[in-house]
Amino acid sequence: MNRVYIESPRPASSSSQRSIIVIAFTGKTGAGKDSAAAVLVNRCQFESIAFADGLRREIAAAWRIDERMLDHRPTKEWAIPALAVGMCSDPAFISWCFDAGESLHEPRSPRWAMQHWADFRRRYRPSYYADIATRWIARKAAVGFRRFAITDLRDPVEVTALRALGVQLSVVRVHSPNATPLSADTAHHSSERHQITVDFDLRNDGSLEALCENVLSLPPVTPLLASCRQQGTHA
């Protein structure tokens, strides 16, 4: 019998991986993590991704809703009939909620749906969504991208997945007095209680100009500004 050998892709060298910069923002809801990442995208040629990107796509498909319903911050805490458990098209999720004593007909908020769908999907593989994000980073890095901003670091599992990439990782906590208050049925979820060890703290007092200055003053960012200017960006 003739044997066919398929050569596996060569792993990236450690030096190549170390040239990849990942800045991951953590902090309370509404603290300004997305805005901070946008500064890096607009001023320093970063690519942006959220661990929740895959989660939102799955929920939109499972409940047959517009994905933008899950992104609109002012209504994330509103209970919506379309997001009742019984409206989900996945019978396994419905059974999982029923076994946990959850109402199948009570309207649920987008945040509640995201929290509980994430628990459902990660029940056997805690790194499920972290793996989606790190695969995306690896694919982008393979074609030459070297700077990535994570907008929603929330779970220690996600930190572990990022560190496993062997990249230059900086974790930044965004502090803001304007953080969004959560509803009673979402504020005590485990995702809101995780403790993340950070490398840097970033203040966001609500001024976009001040936030931009603070982001560009972060130690992992300042060395990048000169190269951004040389490449004709607006930094």
pLDDT per residue, tens digit, the chain (235 aa), is: 444 333 334 444 555 677 899 999 999 888 999 999 999 999 999 999 999 999 999 999 999 999 999 988 888 889 999 999 999 999 999 999 999 999 999 999 999 999 999 999 999 999 999 999 999 999 999 999 999 999 999 999 999 999 999 999 999 999 999 887 877 778 777 777 778 999 999 999 989 999 999 999 999 999 988 776 666 544 4
On whether residue 109 sits in a domain, the answer given is: yes
Residues 71 and 87 in one domain: yes
Residues 133 and 222 in one domain: yes
Residues 94 and 135 in one domain: no
Predicted structure pTM score: 0.86
Q: Which two tokens stand for residue 2?
A: 């003739």
Strand order in the sheet with 47-49: 47-49, 147-150, 21-27, 168-175, 200-203
What pLDDT, in 10s, does the model give residues 142-171? 999 999 999 999 999 999 999 999 999 999
On whether residue 43 sits in a domain, the answer given is: yes
Whole domain around residue 203: which residue ranges? Answer: 14-52+127-229
In the chain, how many domains are there?
A: 2
Backbone phi, then psi, for 143, in 5-degree steps? Answer: -110, 15
What pLDDT, in 10s, does the model give residues 136-146? 999 999 999 99
Residues 111 and 156 in one domain: no
On whether residue 7 sits in a domain, the answer given is: no
Would you tell me how many other CB atoms lie within 10 Å of the CB of residue 116?
A: 22
On whether residue 234 sits in a domain, the answer given is: no
Residues 33 and 145 in one domain: yes
Tell me the C-alpha distance between 21 and 78, whole Å: 37
Q: Judge contact between 47 and 149, C-beta under 8 A.
A: yes
Q: Which of 96, 121, 146 is the last residue of a domain?
A: 121
Residues 133 and 213 in one domain: yes
Q: Which two tokens stand for residue 44?
A: 């320093």
- Its sign, for the CA torsion 153, 155, 161, 166, is positive
Would you tell me how many other CB atoms lie within 10 Å of the CB of residue 75?
A: 13
Could you give the count of Cα atoms lying within 13 Å of 152 in the half-sphere of its Cβ?
16
On whether residue 85 sits in a domain, the answer given is: yes
pLDDT value of residue 126: 95
CATH number for the domain that contains residue 134: 3.40.50.300
Q: Which two tokens stand for residue 61?
A: 């498909």
